Amino acid sequence: MAKPTPAPPTNYRFFRYLAPNAVTCASLVFGMVSMVAAHRGHWDLAAWMIIYAVMTDRLDGMVARAVRGTSDLGVQLDSFADFLNFGVAPAFLLFTFFDAHPQLEFDDGWRRIFLIVACITWVLGAVFRLARFNVATDGSVPSQIFFGIPTTLAGGLIAIWFLALLKYSPPGMGVPGGFGGAKLLGDSFTTPIGVWAWFPVGLLVGAFLMASSLRMLKVGKTARRSSTALILVIVVSGYILGFAQLYPEYLVWPPTVWILVFLVWGALSQKAQGFKPPPLFPRAEADDGLVRMRPQEDLAPEDDAV
């Protein structure tokens, strides 16, 4: 008779679960640094910290799977990190940037109100998406596709477009001394000032896409080895250039093209349309006997009164 496999030592289990959560906490730090940098007017650093958070958001999942350290606590920590890094930080970055540049004409009147509404809507769209899919634990969410754009991709896309345009902005708006390596588009190219006015619109569109049930393919292995190899090269080069803070004008295109192509694919593909999004509200009352309470309830249930 085979002997039962002994349980791993307690210390081993502790560090196994600690590893991915430590990466998630590092991601949270990047989000906080981003907001401090934006507050001080270091726009490039603020946006790069959001990109760092994007990359570490992918790493914590890889670490969790590698050490078998996935846990409910880790899932919740990841959601809180996503809310700060890709909900609050991008909105704060754009608000402070527009607030510090009156030449963009978002400092007064209806444009000011529009900017505020766009930033608030972005944050609400992000938190709605995270809350909606946090409770979809019954296997109702397919593993092959996203319903709507994930907060990580949306926040990273806003940040990298910001960096790409900031790199080519004229004096008084760009970063003194330049950043991000050589200018791939040439020294003569300058970001038109009118382009910045589209960022608040982008926040509204991004909020809708995050909260929507539009279908989009996840990044992963494909049926063709050549396609898988190409995706791997793009992802690895993105990590290298992202951590080195180089060439945002190149980094902006892979996620942009991916979103555009596969949102169209999700709308036209019969296979994608066959997947059903998780319900917004429960279809029926839970019958497990548990009482659902918010974490910070002021009043205890009557049965637990002391």
- pLDDT band for position 102 (cuts 50, 70, 90): very high
Q: Which domain holds residue 166?
A: 14-274
Average pLDDT, the chain: 83
Between 246 and 143, name the one with better pLDDT.
246
| pLDDT attached to residue 220 | 64
Q: Mean pLDDT across the stretch 151-177? A: 91
Give residue 305's pLDDT band: very low, low, confident or very high (50, 70, 90): very low
CA–CA separation, 106 vs 91, rounded Å?
A: 14
pLDDT of residue 5 exceeding 80: no
Q: How far apart are CA 85 and CA 155, in angstroms?
A: 8
pLDDT value for 6: 52
**Domain presence at residue 126:** yes
Alpha-carbon span 115 to 121, nearest angstrom = 10
In a domain, 34, yes or no: yes
* Predicted local confidence at residue 2, as pLDDT: 55
pLDDT of residue 284: 54
Instruction: Give mean pLDDT, residues 221-229.
Output: 70
For residues 121-146, average pLDDT = 80
**How many independent structural domains does the chain possess?**
1
Residue with token string 């991004």? 206
Using the predicted structure, report yes or no on whether residue 251 has a pLDDT greater than 80. yes
Kindly tell me if the per-residue pLDDT of 154 is higher than 90.
yes
Q: What is the pLDDT of residue 198?
A: 95
Section 129-142 average pLDDT? 71
Give domain status of residue 5, yes or no: no
Asked if the structure places residue 299 within a domain, the reply is no
Confidence category of residue 118, pLDDT binned at 50, 70, 90: very high
Higher pLDDT: 295 or 135? It is 135
168-224 pLDDT, tens digit per residue, is 998 878 787 778 999 999 989 999 999 999 999 999 999 999 999 888 888 765 567
Q: Is 216 within the bounds of a domain?
A: yes
169 occurs within a structural domain: yes
Q: Is residue 281 part of a domain?
A: no
- Here the CATH number for the domain that contains residue 265 is 1.20.120.1760
Q: What is the average pLDDT across 59-81?
A: 77
Which of 9-18, 204-213, 230-239 has the least mean pLDDT? 9-18
b/e burial code for range 237-266 (CB count within 10 A of at least 16 → b): ebeebbeebebbbbbbebbeebbeebbeeb
Percent of residues, the chain, with pLDDT higher than 90: 49
Higher pLDDT, 194 or 8: 194
Q: Does residue 283 lie within any of the structural domains?
A: no
